[in-house]
Amino acid sequence: MGALFNIISYSIGNLFLGILLTAIGVALMFFIIHSWFSQRTFTIVSYVTGAVLFLFLSFQAILLCGAVTIRSYSTDVETAINGWVRDVPEYVEFDEDDSQGILKLIQDEWPLVGYFIGGTDFTGHTPLNIASAMADELRTYMTRFIWRRVGWSALFVVMASFVVIKTMEQTGRGSRRTSSSRTGRTGSSRRHKARPKRYDDF
């Protein structure tokens, strides 16, 4: 939970946007479902499902906003790495320990990175290309992370929509129409069964 609160504090600006979009998304889901099933009404279970969906989507939104924030650091990270290795001879090749040392410097400068990336290995890179390589990898990794959050969010929406639709109840108006149609059919069948009047019955 501490990491989650740190992510919130470092990406507070994007967080409010994420929560707002989550609320709009949940409301839009209920609006679309009600438009498709206008003869049904939501139940307590439907609204509880919506509340649970909001919590799950909010969690995904927090992670997504953190990832977006970190991805925006990539240019600054590249500039910083170039500054840290500028005194290293060009022919020197970095190993895994050197890569971890640079990552530690990145985490000290941008603490949020440490909650998403725990290790790295850029063995064989030199001071001429390690900065661009690490910045590109940061962008690629966070882009994949963002799409995973989007995928999980879409899955949660589909599952919640299914539950909400299954827990909806038929409205009284629809029930009355159904009852009236059944009564009409019963009366009609009774009229068909009535014996026709004949003059020789007198």
Q: Which two tokens stand for residue 109?
A: 């400068």
pLDDT given for residue 165 in this prediction: 92
pLDDT value at residue 31: 93
The pLDDT tens digits of the residues spanning 37-91 come to: 888 899 999 999 999 999 999 888 888 888 888 898 899 999 999 999 999 998 9
pTM, whole model, 2 decimals? 0.72
Mean pLDDT of the chain: 81
d(CA 7, CA 77): 18
